[in-house]
Amino acid sequence: MQYVEPPPDPKPDGKKSKDKFTTVVATARDERRIAIEKAQIRDVEEIIELVNGFAAMNLMLPRGPQYVYENIRDFVIASDKNVPVYSLTETREVLHMIVACGSLHVLWDDIGEIRALAINPAYQHLGLGSKLVEFMKEEAIQLGLKHLFTFTLTEEFFKGLGFKRQGRDELPPKVWGECSRCPKYFKCDEIGMVLDI
Ligand SMILES: CC(C)(COP(=O)(O)OP(=O)(O)OC[C@H]1O[C@@H](n2cnc3c(N)ncnc32)[C@H](O)[C@@H]1OP(=O)(O)O)[C@@H](O)C(=O)NCCC(=O)NCCS
């Protein structure tokens, strides 16, 4: 398990956020830490909520429970421990909240795909996305893979981690497996990127 610094505590204003992401309210800073670890079954609902928040903005593919349960061993999560949040009933509770996720899906004997990488907007630009990719890269090396692949709209982020843009004709056939199930099938705007590991 790895830890990173949480973002500064937001000021509590007593109002519920209209944002589709959970509101974070003030908390004692020394009680907080963000842990990066493999996902468990109990995390499925929060992973879906996080990913589908971005899918609704057309930034990534939507994922349903069947996909996430079947592939839960692919998933890595980052959770902010001991965050006080308001539940739907507006009761203040202390929970640990999933603030980021990503998954490594093995495609073939030498290549794995980074999928479903999503960081809660309140936790972006803290290095969490990079740390999750590093975590999955280590897993990929342990598995004996030689390349990581991703389809993305955020070329600059992956470029910063050493991924290189690939022309559609250069991509290995295995990477197209999910495309027939993708809502963007007829108007794909994503870029294929590869990292040799
Ligand atoms: C893209 C995303 C995963 C980045 O996560 P993050 O934790 O904010 O990334 P990091 O803090 O590790 O960023 C490292 C650097 O990558 C670059 N970067 C980060 N997000 C970026 C973005 N959206 N566009 C372009 N470059 C970006 C920046 O140079 C950043 O450095 P900086 O914070 O000093 O500016 C996150 O913004 C996200 O979840 N976006 C919405 C969903 C999405 O697009 N997922 C990728 C689908 S494959």
Question: 50 in helix, strand or coil?
Answer: helix
User: Which pLDDT tens digits describe the chain residue by residue (197 residues)?
Assistant: 666 666 666 555 544 444 444 334 334 444 567 889 999 999 999 999 999 999 999 888 999 999 999 999 999 999 887 665 555 665 555 566 899 999 999 999 999 999 999 999 989 998 999 999 999 999 999 999 999 999 999 999 999 999 999 887 787 777 777 777 777 777 778 899 999 99
- Position 116 scores a pLDDT of 96
Cα–Cα distance for residue pair 19/37, rounded to 1 Å: 26
Instruction: Locate 49 and state its tokens.
Output: 């909520």
Q: Provide the residue ranges of all domains of the chain, joining segments of one domain with +.
A: 2-196
**pTM of the prediction?**
0.83
Cα–Cα distance for residue pair 36/44, rounded to 1 Å: 15
- Position 19 scores a pLDDT of 43
For ligand 1, mutation pick of 20, 50, 125, 155 (most atoms within 8 Å of CB): 125
Tokens 């069947």 belong to residue: 66
Q: Ligand 1 centroid vs 126 CA: distance in angstroms?
A: 9
Q: Ligand 1 centroid vs 144 CA: distance in angstroms?
A: 27
- Position 21 scores a pLDDT of 41
Fold of 2-196: Aminopeptidase (3.40.630)
- CA-nearest residue, atom 9 of ligand 1: 129
For ligand 1, mutation pick of 124, 158, 189, 193 (most atoms within 8 Å of CB): 124
Q: Ligand 1 centroid vs 124 CA: distance in angstroms?
A: 7
- Position 175 scores a pLDDT of 79
Residue 46: which of 20, 25, 27 has the closest Cα?
A: 20
Q: Which residues of 150-185 are buried (b: 16+ CB within 10 A; e: fewer)?
A: bbbebeebbeebebeeeeeeeeeeebeeeeeeeeee
Residues with a CB atom less than 6 Å from ligand 1 = 54, 59-60, 117-119, 124-130, 150, 152-154, 156-157, 160
Residue 175: which of 103, 101, 115 has the closest Cα?
A: 115
